[in-house]
Amino acid sequence: MSTSGLPIIDLSPLRSSNSADYKKVGIELCEAASTVGFFYIKNHGISQIEIKEIFDISKRFFAFEEHQKSAVSISPFHRGWLHIGAAKMYGNKESDYKESFVWGLEVTEDDSDFKAGGRLLAPNQWPAFVPEMREKLTTYFTEAQICGEKLLKALARGLQVSGDYFLKEIDKPISRGALIHYPPNRPNRYPNQHLPEKYGRFFQVGSGEHTDYGALTMLCQDQIGGLQIKGKSGTWVSAEPIEGTFVINIGDLLARWSNGRFESTPHRVINSSTQARYSLAMFVDPNWNATIKPLTKGMECANYDTVQCADYINARYNEAFAYRKSRDNE
């Protein structure tokens, strides 16, 4: 158990041939997913050396001037660089004080799903000024997707349904990776981006209160911290960085898919440090046309409508991202 009270779940039994050990992990994951919706995982199979290399690349990319990063500005298909203020979580008055770079599954301009449009599958935008970015992030995407699918399989087993319940339509996923940069806390420079003073310090909003849209989020933090989770009482709990782990949270799509058995919990990022904060996120989702039908057993009624994956996520993007709003107004 972490100091925040979030469970730390060891995934090494998922690589075991012992079915009892596998089942135990599935139950642990379901318990965490159904109570708080957040947990840590360790022994996930992704190298710390690889993660460090990606953080180094992230720092190099975000250090470039805006006019250079704008060469890979976010596309209508949600690929590329989002400038500071480009995202505003629903219900929040201020835009998020962060910038990010988003990529996904590698597809070409000849890809039929890209040509069809609206399916969140598109060519990635790779910056020429960080030439190694493409290879490193493409490799990471594959490894993180595999890890996410292992989690979905174990969660299904924990729910006592077929292990492929959440994996039947995931051969061409619309998952996204994101490098995220939260600038240092400078209260005098950005007075409208701060919460009230607390404990003698300014707390800067990096990402406003929100729930994630998709199925699962895998987050790797640097040592600055700042991720906070909203408890059922309304109090905020810090999810401190723990080396060698990912923070996993349930997204709205998986909460619907589980018919409310899993919790999609509000969270935010507050960068109270005078140092920049960096994080690496992977938003794990199935195919664009995956049918998200709530899991019901026996006489149980569905608590949510059935939705199509890409339709649902596109609708949420339209609410959150400035480039989507400006496009709608054209």
What pLDDT is recorded for position 218? Answer: 98
Q: Which of 264, 311, 295, 48 is nearest to 166 (CA)?
A: 295
What pLDDT is recorded for position 2? Answer: 66
The token pair that represents 72 in the structure block: 């890979």
Fold classification of 8-328 is Jelly Rolls (2.60.120)
Tens-of-pLDDT digits for all 330 residues of the chain? 666 789 999 999 998 888 889 999 999 999 999 999 999 999 999 999 999 999 999 999 999 999 999 999 999 899 999 999 888 766 666 788 899 999 999 999 999 999 998 899 999 999 999 999 999 999 999 999 999 999 999 999 999 999 999 999 999 999 999 999 999 876 554 445 444 444 334 445 788 899 999 999 999 999 999 999 999 899 999 999 999 999 999 999 999 999 999 999 999 998 888 899 999 999 999 999 999 999 999 999 999 999 999 999 999 988 888 777 655 433
What pLDDT is recorded for position 187? Answer: 58
Residue 222 CA to residue 277 CA, distance in Å, equals 7
What pLDDT is recorded for position 201? Answer: 44
280 forms beta bridges with 179, 220
What pLDDT is recorded for position 196? Answer: 47
Are 223 and 159 within 8 A, CB to CB?
no
Q: Where are the domains of the chain?
A: 8-328
Say which residue the tokens 């250090």 belong to: 63
Across the chain, the runs of DSSP E, i.e. the strands, are 8-10, 38-42, 80-82, 99-104, 176-182, 194-198, 201-210, 216-221, 227-230, 236-238, 246-250, 267-271, 277-284, 291-292, 307-308
The token pair that represents 4 in the structure block: 């925040």
| Pure H helices in 40-191 | 48-63, 66-69, 112-116, 133-158
What pLDDT is recorded for position 273? Answer: 84
Radius of gyration of the chain (CA): 19
The token pair that represents 200 in the structure block: 């003698």
In the three-class reduction of DSSP (H, G, I as helix; E, B as strand; rest coil), residue 150 is classed as helix
Residue 78 CA to residue 80 CA, distance in Å, equals 7
Are 22 and 14 within 8 A, CB to CB?
yes
